Structure 1
Amino acid sequence: MVDAVNRFSDILNGLAEQPAPKVTVADVLEAFGDRAFGALLAVFAAPLALPMPPGVSAILGAPLIFIAFQLMIGRPTLWLPSALMNRSMRRAEFQTMAVRLEPHLKRLERHLRPRWRFLYGRVADRFIGAVCLVLAVIVFLPIPFGNMLPSFAIAAFGFGLLERDGVAGLVGAVGAALSVIILALVWNALILAAVTFITAVGDSFERVTALFPG
């Protein structure tokens, strides 16, 4: 399990207690140091699995895309552009986020442990990166409350990668499948509604022109 000194909840609380008026992505990465890609996926995805103030998904969603992409291509070390490193949240918003996450993280930290390690490896980790990349793009889309389930899935994958916990990985896989299914249903419903509306407008126009022939 994660060392008691370096648990997620402790690190987030430490960042929230810093005196600076804002918390940048660079601050988060520095706080977690050389932690695995899984840790960083979990750090940026876990807050988005809960209701958060508007704009948080844009701040945390972009790093998720970069992290997942680099995991997918098998990059050994993480790199983020300076534009992302300098993204920030107000300290008060970060404190709110840390308070909301703390009880959930502490419960999770008690249960994570290495198991079913055969679900991980060089190829499997890249596949997880590809799935997380798709989910990160969904998170980044401006869909009200549409980022919570895919963020939960990414966070589960992240904790699973960090601890080599196959159960967490399976939870992430289920969450990913549900996210894609729900998104497909939403898009199908929107397309159907648009087609129905256009058809109705066309029919109405034909009736009006029939009443007033040229």
Structure 2
Amino acid sequence: MAHKSQAASVSQIFDQISARKTRKVSVADVLDAFGHRAFGALMFVFAAPLALPMPPGASAILGAPLMFITAQWMLGRRTLWLPKFLLERTMSMSDFRAVTTKMTPYLERLERRMRPRLTFMYNRVGDRLLGAVCFLLSIIVFLPIPFGNMLPSFAIAAFAIGAAERDGVAAIVGWIATILSVLVLAVLSKAIIAAVIVFFVTLAHIF
């Protein structure tokens, strides 16, 4: 694997996408730009916004792609596959630039503190374990649990940026956030049970 100094950082790749003279940016564009690091990068893109207060319904929109991505990480896929309807999702370049402009200073500050370390946490077995944890967290994110998806989203974002930068310390932060998520969700157990029932009833009506 290339040393961090030899590979563009996540923020630099976002800047490269922002510099393109196109009117829209699709999920496919982001996938192509990140190449072999697409798992971590796209997980971060979808999870990080949900770690902050978001309008109702945002978790359902961003949570669905998270489930697709984390499930494949759990299964050990080397390349990321997304269905066509997700790949074709777009946002205007002006909106993409506005988001990256706000996000980049924080991301750059984070990246300056990150480097490849404790990389033993990212191997075939470790990746599947992290993928399984993130998949379970993404299901929680997708469910309509009031205030129940911010910590799981933060945990996924930490695992994701750690995977993209091969920094095991970020994974440790992700594990801490996961434990805290479980504790918080235990308190909200009644809401979780009700949400799970609604989720499976909805699936039953769809299929």
TM-score (norm 2): 0.78
Q: Measure, in 2, the Cα distance between the counterparts of 1:47 and 1:101.
A: 10
Tell me the equivalent position of 1:9: 11
- Deviations 1:140-178 (CA, angstroms, capped at 9, x unpaired): 223455433212111111122233322111100111121
| Letter of the 1:187 counterpart | S
Q: Does 1:46 align with 2:82?
A: no
Which residue is 1:151 aligned to? 153
How many residues are matched? 192
Say if 1:66 and 1:6 are closer, same or farther in 2 by CA, change over 3 A. same
Partners of 2:186 and 2:124 in 1: CA distance: 30
Partner of residue 33 from structure 1, selected from 32, 35, 51: 35
Shift of the alpha carbon at 1:9?
1.7
Aligned in 2, Cα 1:98/1:80: closer, same or farther, shift over 3 Å? same
Q: How far has the Cα of 1:104 moved from its partner?
A: 1.4
CA positional deviation for 1:10: 2.4
Where 1:34 maps in the other structure, the secondary structure is helix
Distance in 2 between the 1:168 and 1:39 partners? Answer: 14
Greater CA deviation, 61-70 or 116-125?
116-125
Q: Is the 8 A contact 1:47 1:101 kept in 2?
A: no
Residue 85 of structure 1: how far off its partner (Å): 0.8
Residues in 2 aligned to 1:17 and 1:55: alpha-carbon distance in whole angstroms: 30
Out of 56, 59, 76, the position equivalent to 1:74 is: 76
In structure 2, what is the equivalent of residue 202 of structure 1?
none
Partner of 2:185: 183
Moved more, 147-156 or 16-25: 16-25
- Residues 17-73 of structure 1: CA deviation (Å, up to 9, x unaligned): 545443321121122123252233223322332345665544432221111111111
Q: Is the 8 A contact 2:141 2:153 kept in 1?
A: yes
Give the partner amino acid of 2:52.
L
Deviations 1:90-123 (A, max 9, x none): 4444333212211210111101112223333221
Q: Contact conserved, 2:137 with 2:153, CA < 8 A, in 1? A: yes
Select which of 92, 101, 112 maps to 2:114: 112
Structure of larger gyration radius: 1
TM-score by length of 1: 0.76
Q: Which sections of structure 1, spanning at least 5 residues, go unmatched?
A: 193-214
Unaligned runs of 5+ residues in structure 2 are 195-207
The CA deviation at 1:6 is: 2.2
